[in-house]
A = this chain, B = another copy of it.
């Protein structure tokens, strides 16, 4: 079995190398094209789209996360219970945050799909794309208006206008791209029915703006319908997919979409660019990690006059007031950084991202975005108050969900592990147990802390801080811990001898026995 597994791994390596080379070659050629005179009318010079997409990812991830700031800046008075003020928060601002996050990621997914078709750009496309970005960054504001004035149609109209203009620009990009076929994906470039592709893509792109057009018309008649239509827009891909599935079940497999159409099928297994999912996640993690220092730099530098008056000129005494806030900063930074670390470890072994994994990733990131808020709450209340306990428990819940959705990405990947995962982290792979431990650490710790604070509510703050301090060290020592745990399990369940071992342990053992020089060759 070991022999068999090894050949398979090697084969997979070869496949990956080929794949890598193919990608590199296409990059290389796009680079070549960026410098060879591949222009037809002397009006444009072709470039690789890599950096444009990285910049777009950065912009979109910042915009998606930024709406947590109005939530975080809502002042919670200590004399009122957290629950009451939470209701105010929950109704509008958190709803705005989550809706913004969802709609922005929908726009982002559309952007990915568009630039999977158009792989090279020129100056004109770059400028059009920047116009798109400007409209996308304006979307959160229209949501704020909708949430604050739900009965006024101005918010809906503004939102629909933005989306319609966005759709129009995207359509222009598609038409422009198809008029210069050397900008297109190689697969489409060589295909014979380009016109068919063009119409199909335009049809898919124009779907959302047309629905928004109807939403804006309905808003004059009966504005509640508009909200329903907008909700449909967000879940359109999933609805259309399930409708298609029902139809195929009812009347059998109707049509097989051509191979290069897979970017526009809305199938949950449709590939998303792994590179861009990583770039987007990096952007969210980076802005979330720095949100608190942003506030600290602005608000927590004491006023010199105040220091002179209240503390007799002692800066240390004045700064001691802000102690909890520094703790909140380091705590939230460490948590976000470690969640990024887990995400990074996971995606290192992911070979291909599907739409469904992207969706789970979005959910995870939405919770990550809530972390600074939770940490800030944790340190805003006096010790042992009821509010403090609730704030700590909310933090635990947020960490738990952020971690669980990361775990869910892996589980979703395991269901089609041949396409999506590296052999090492598949069932029975060498790193399988280690990856599981890495992904499960945060959810388990958060859950444990949550229940501990329920039981020992007096020591909730100490437990929480202890958790903050121990988790980074747990990550450092995780590999040793996993090895120890596996050895322990082996001792307990099969103390007889090596013949009853499971395949997983056998492989691990084998790897340990193998001398180093054979590993290198």
Contacts and interface: CB of A to CB of B under 8 A. Distances in A.
Interface string A132-146: 011001101100110
B134 A333 contact: yes
Contact of A32 (B17, B40, B45): B17
B69 A298 contact: yes
A69 B299 CA distance: 11
Contact of A154 (B63, B279, B319): B319
Contacts of A472: 127
Given A123-B345, A344-B126, A520-B38, A63 B28 contact: no
A519 B134 contact: no
Contacts of A117: none
A43, A44, A298, A476, most chain B CB atoms within 10 A: A298
Interface stretch (A193-201, A283-291, A371-379): A283-291
Interface stretch (A49-57, A213-221, A231-239, A358-366): A49-57
B127 A293 contact: no
Contacts of A298: 69-70, 73
A145 B301 contact: yes
Nearest to A307: B149
Interface stretch (A244-252, A253-261, A334-342): A334-342
Contacts of A387: none
A420 interface: no
Contact of A304 (B69, B149, B301, B330): B149
Contacts of A69: 294, 297-298
Nearest to A330: B134
B316 A154 contact: yes
Interface in A307-351: 307, 315-316, 319, 329-330, 333-334, 337-338, 340-341, 344-345, 347-348
A13 interface: yes
Contacts of A67: 297
A140 B295 CA distance: 12
Contacts of A130: 337-338, 340-341
Contacts of A384: none
Contact of A17 (B28, B43, B123, B315): B28
A67 B293 CA distance: 10
Contact of A511 (B37, B38, B512, B520): B37
> 7 closest A-B pairs (Cβ-Cβ)?
A58-B286, A130-B337, A24-B24, A37-B519, A144-B301, A62-B290, A55-B282
15 contacts: A13-B35, A17-B32, A20-B28, A38-B520, A40-B516, A44-B479, A51-B344, A55-B340, A58-B286, A63-B293, A73-B298, A140-B297, A141-B297, A149-B304, A154-B315
Interface of A: 13, 16-17, 20-21, 24, 27-28, 31-32, 34-38, 40, 42-45, 47, 51-52, 54-55, 58-59, 62-63, 66-67, 69-70, 73, 123-124, 126-127, 130, 133-134, 137-138, 140-141, 144-145, 148-149, 152, 154, 278-279, 282-283, 285-287, 289-290, 293-294, 296-298, 300-302, 304, 307, 315-316, 319, 329-330, 333-334, 337-338, 340-341, 344-345, 347-348, 422, 424, 430-431, 472, 475-476, 478-480, 511-512, 514, 516, 519-520
